[in-house]
Chain A
Amino acid sequence: MSFDIVVGVSLAYVLVLFVVAFLAERRARRGRLGWLRSPLVYTLSLSIYCTAWTFYGAVGYAVRSGLEFLTIYLGPTLLMVGWWWLLRKLVRIGRNQRITSIADMISSRYGKSATLGGLVTAIAVLGTTPYIALQLQSVTLSFGVFADTPVGWDTPDQWLVTAWVAIGLTVFTVLFGTRNLDANERHHGVVTAIAVEAVVKLVALLAVGIFVVWGIAGGIGETMARIDASPISQVPIDGSRWFTLIFLSGAAFLCLPRMFQVLVVENDDERHLSTASWAFPLYLAAINLFVLPIAVVGLDLLPPGSNPDLFVLTVPLAMNQDMLAMLVFLGGFSAATSMVIVAAIALSTMVSNHVVIPIWMGVRRGLGGTSGDVRGLVLMSRRLSIAAVLALGFLYHQVSGGGAALAVIGLISFCGVVQVLPALVGGLFWRGATRIGALAGTLCGFAVWVYCLLLPSIGADVVMSAEMLAHGPGGIAWLTPQALFGVPGLDPVVHCMLWSMLINTMVFCIGSLASFPGPLERLQGAQFVNVFEDGANPRGWNEGAVESEDLLVMAQRILGAREAQNLFLAEARAQGKGGYLPDNTPDFLERLERELAGSVGAAAAHAMVEQIMTGSSVTVRDLMAVADETAQIMEYSSQLEGKSRELERTARQLRVANDKLTALSVQKDAFLSQISHELRTPMTSIRAFSEILMSGETLSAEEQTHYSGVIHDEAQRLTRLLDALLDLSVLEDGRAQLAEQDAVLRDLIDRAILSTTSLSSNTVFEIRRDEPSEKIVLRTDVDRLSQVFINLVANARKYCDAEKPRLDIRVSRAGGELTIDFVDNGSGIPAASQQVIFEKFARLSTASAVDGAGLGLAICREIMVRLGGSVAYLPGQGGAAFRVSMPVAEAVRAA
């Protein structure tokens, strides 16, 4: 078959993958997920565990080590079958905490530690780069098989093929791996393409296997005989390796960034895991079923010295099965590309989130810059990271020359990557695991891996001298890289796993026991370990007003009372609402966060707002999501944005107006019957007693005096009521004459307090003032203003229900505005009533105080409007609080 046809077919295949990914992405985008999120697709996506190392390398492995190749798949099989132990928890946590990668998982668990995130990322990059190189090599090698010369062709061509493959993969990954940055990091396009590739590689291997067993060997019995007769049957099983590799592969299945990506991050539904728990082991068994027959037949069929790593391809070619060979080629191509794509996505997420962004944020903070398009930055850094990861893999391939047997690199990578296992598993099950422990353990394990396996594997006299490898550094025997602590004779991988895991776990435990976790760490630890215990997140806060009030309380604490109140007031006004409590729109929350961030930093600000809004803790992803939202909003054209904001504002105004109208019409009826009631009640007494007096019945002198007194009092009450009504109507019509004169604020307050003392004579009523601040000369209608003060003080005296009632009178002045707050320590006014109290007859309790006609606050409001100021209820002060604001001339200050 000509090389050109191979190239053509693979290009066509790539095109098909592009189309599949594109269609899936479009489908997902339209919300029609359907089969895109079936357990089958999930299971197939897990098959990226079977890379080209499996596809080509398993046969080579079997030739070299017999049944041992199975251990690489038995570990994951046991792990999947035992999903109830570990994977279920991992997936649940991943979904709950919106984890984006294994680095994110570990960093989150240990209090969002940036250091740990960076370390895990570094290990992942180091462990994955050779693996990517391996995939590139396998594709290049398989191309080479089709070229004229059986293995390898002219070096420049080989170089070129590898480069093109790397570039193609970069383009695909960037296109489908960095499309969206939304909260759920799922890549439906990529996952679907990978599922297709999973089918292709399984079908290809099964096809070769069936061809080998029934086409060449001549049946199952024949094949078994051939197996027993082959040299492979003489290869002994190394017990220590068997055990170690099952453990290692299981651990790697958990820790490999790409596996974490498909297993946890791309998981759409936890129930899929239950299906995958048996379906994926089935896939693994199926893909390995014919490895041994192919190896045996390959050994028989091909000339000695043939590369067993390519038997899958070379056996069909030797039998002139071109179509089968083509299928195998596509299978191998699938295995390699799907691994590289997912690995690149996973690594780029990690590099971008745990290296690039933190550094960039740090630099920007140093420069003192403010806003920016974070979304663009994240996308760009991911794209660059993908390109960098593939470039690294390519470089490694070029530098290492691609000579080593495939399986060796794979195992070395595994050993490196699983160094995060103690921190990961320990963090899931042990609340006492700390950041220090995780950091120290992982670092030590990583160091042991580099020293015992990675550096020696590069070869003697490259980094380590042959002398050092044989006798230890400087002749210190117990430090010999492949025989630590004087335990020689172990297989290098077993040796490295033994010591690295042992030291890693020990240091992790000791470090955790000896250190003390931070608060966030403890919180996260509890959330991870007890993920199944608190089923639903405590999401309370249904009522908007309650949230607003809590936000105000918090903002006052951080920004200072005045600034916070101004912010809320301005926002409420912008929304077209009265009072101090705006709706919690995203815009407002964002603005509030920005304000808070100025004082306590962005992360803390977000955390606090989030805590109030949802009662839950915050993930770093939330932070990103907020930034994303900002950027997305900015993407809209300003016109559209302005319009929608205008509409939103109008709608809100209409809603408020409608509510108010409904309330008003109810109030109008109530007003009529109220005024009737208020007038008729004193009239009743007057009429009844005057009839008694007139009836000529015999009454004692005291009785006569008393009854006349009642009539008199009730008549006065009527007069007061009518006065108040007239007052109000005059004020409302704007006909009130203002008699302006100068007065000192302090005197007005004195007068108000004095004239209300009779109201609370039985209890001690404490009034706290700051007299110096009251030395302000006002030019205003003194009587009217006094009336307002008297009303407010009287209200506090009458309605403050605290055991030790207290009224704080605070005066402050900013700009041209004077504010006087009257804050008592009672139970305050419920949020629902705060809007109503300034309406006529809006008495809150039905228990009518004798002179409480319910007009006081309505009159106050009208007076303040006439005086050019306002009176408002101030929520979030711990009691009933009223704020009187009015303009005041700047320079006027009493001596």
Chain B
Amino acid sequence: MHHHVLLLEDEPNIIEAIRFILSRDGWQVSCHSDGATAVDTVTRLEPDVVVLDVMLPNRNGFDILRDLRAQRATASLPVLMLTAKGQAKDRERAEDLGVSAFMTKPFANAEVIERLRSLVGA
């Protein structure tokens, strides 16, 4: 079956790379780049899992995560957070906010797929 992943990311090249590897793995991939409307998009598309970048235009990933956890529909939605900042306190903060998994860029493609699979229980 096709699991649906929503990619919240703004770097075109990274989007392209992730889309490629996940499509090859049999995922249905949606993508959204604007932080301000990210929560709405998640609510609307109802993905199985979200890949969330920290540095999004207009709104950072932490705020988006907090909002997702605050609303009933998305409170338990699996979220994989990706950050290029790679500082320990970012990870702590994400965990405090209830992130499902956390990875730093750059990442190994295989690891991303593996994490996502375990998140959706595939």
Contact = CB atoms under 8 A, between A and B. Distances in A.
Interface of A: 672-673, 676-677, 680-681, 683-689, 691-692, 695, 697, 710, 713-714, 845-848
Nearest to B33: A847
A845 B55 CA distance: 12
B86 interface: yes
In order of increasing CB-CB distance, the 5 nearest A-B pairs are A688-B17, A685-B13, A680-B84, A687-B106, A684-B105
A673 B87 contact: yes
A846 B57 contact: yes
Contact of A688 (B10, B55, B57, B106): B106
16 contacts: A673-B85, A673-B87, A677-B55, A680-B84, A681-B84, A683-B106, A684-B107, A685-B11, A686-B106, A688-B21, A688-B106, A714-B13, A846-B57, A847-B58, A848-B10, A848-B57
B109 interface: yes
Interface in B43-99: 55-58, 84-87, 90
A846 B110 CA distance: 30
Contact of A846 (B55, B104, B106): B55
A680 B11 contact: no
B55 A684 contact: no
A697 to B, nearest CB: 7
Contact of B105 (A683, A689, A848): A683
Nearest to A675: B85
Contacts of B108: 687, 691
Given A672-B87, A673-B87, A684-B84, A695 B13 contact: no
A713 B17 CA distance: 14
Contacts of A689: 13, 17
A710 B104 CA distance: 20
B109 A688 contact: yes
Interface string B22-60: 001000000000000000000000000000000111100
B33 to A, nearest CB: 10
B18 interface: yes
B120 interface: no
Nearest to B24: A697
A673 B55 CA distance: 11
Contact of A680 (B13, B17, B24, B86): B86
A688 B85 contact: no
Contacts of A845: 57
Contacts of B14: 681, 684-685, 688
A679 to B, nearest CB: 8
A713 B12 CA distance: 12
Contacts of A847: 57-58
A680 B109 contact: no
A377 to B, nearest CB: 63
B109 A681 contact: no
B114 interface: no
Contacts of A846: 55-58
Interface of A, secondary structure class, is: helix
Nearest to A688: B17
A24 to B, nearest CB: 64
A428 B1 CA distance: 87
A692 B21 contact: yes
Given A685-B11, A692-B17, A710-B16, A680 B55 contact: no
A687 B14 CA distance: 10
A695 B58 CA distance: 36
A676 B85 contact: yes
B81 to A, nearest CB: 14
B18 to A, nearest CB: 7
Contacts of B84: 676-677, 680-681, 684
B45 to A, nearest CB: 23
Most A Cβ at <10 Å: residue of B13, B55, B57, B86: B13
A825 B20 CA distance: 43
Interface of B: 10-11, 13-14, 16-18, 20-21, 24, 55-58, 84-87, 90, 104-110
Given A687-B108, A688-B21, A692-B109, 15 more contacts: A673-B90, A676-B87, A680-B84, A680-B86, A681-B11, A681-B84, A681-B105, A684-B17, A684-B84, A688-B14, A688-B17, A689-B13, A713-B13, A846-B58, A847-B57
A677 B104 CA distance: 10
B13 A676 contact: no
Given A676-B85, A677-B85, A697-B24, A688 B107 contact: yes
A692 B20 contact: yes
A687 B87 contact: no
A845 B56 CA distance: 11
Nearest to B60: A846
B62 to A, nearest CB: 13
A800 B80 CA distance: 37
B68 to A, nearest CB: 20
Nearest to A687: B106
B13 A710 contact: yes
Contacts of A695: 109
A397 B79 CA distance: 102
Contacts of A672: 87
A847 B59 CA distance: 10
B105 A680 contact: yes
A685 B17 contact: yes
A691 B107 CA distance: 10
B18 A688 contact: yes
B106 A680 contact: yes
Contacts of A673: 85, 87, 90
Contacts of B85: 673, 676-677, 680
Contacts of A683: 105-106
B17 to A, nearest CB: 3
A685 B14 CA distance: 5
A684 B11 CA distance: 10
A764 B58 CA distance: 27
Most B Cβ at <10 Å: residue of A672, A683, A686, A847: A847
A680 B57 contact: no
B25 to A, nearest CB: 11
A890 to B, nearest CB: 50
A847 B60 CA distance: 11
A846 B54 CA distance: 12
B36 to A, nearest CB: 11
A304 B11 CA distance: 116
A883 B85 CA distance: 34
A33 B24 CA distance: 87
Nearest to B105: A684
Most A Cβ at <10 Å: residue of B11, B86, B106: B106
B58 A684 contact: no
Nearest to A847: B57
A709 to B, nearest CB: 10
B89 to A, nearest CB: 9
A681 B13 CA distance: 9
B84 to A, nearest CB: 4
Contacts of A677: 55, 84-85
Contacts of B106: 680, 683-684, 686-688
Contacts of A688: 14, 17-18, 21, 106-107, 109
Nearest to B104: A680
A680 B16 CA distance: 16
A695 B21 CA distance: 10
A697 B17 CA distance: 14
B40 to A, nearest CB: 19
Contact of B109 (A686, A691, A710, A713): A691
A677 B57 CA distance: 14
B13 A687 contact: no
A116 B107 CA distance: 86
Nearest to B56: A846
A692 B107 CA distance: 12
Nearest to A680: B84
Nearest to B18: A688
Contacts of A686: 106
Contacts of B55: 677, 846, 848
A721 to B, nearest CB: 13
Contacts of B24: 697
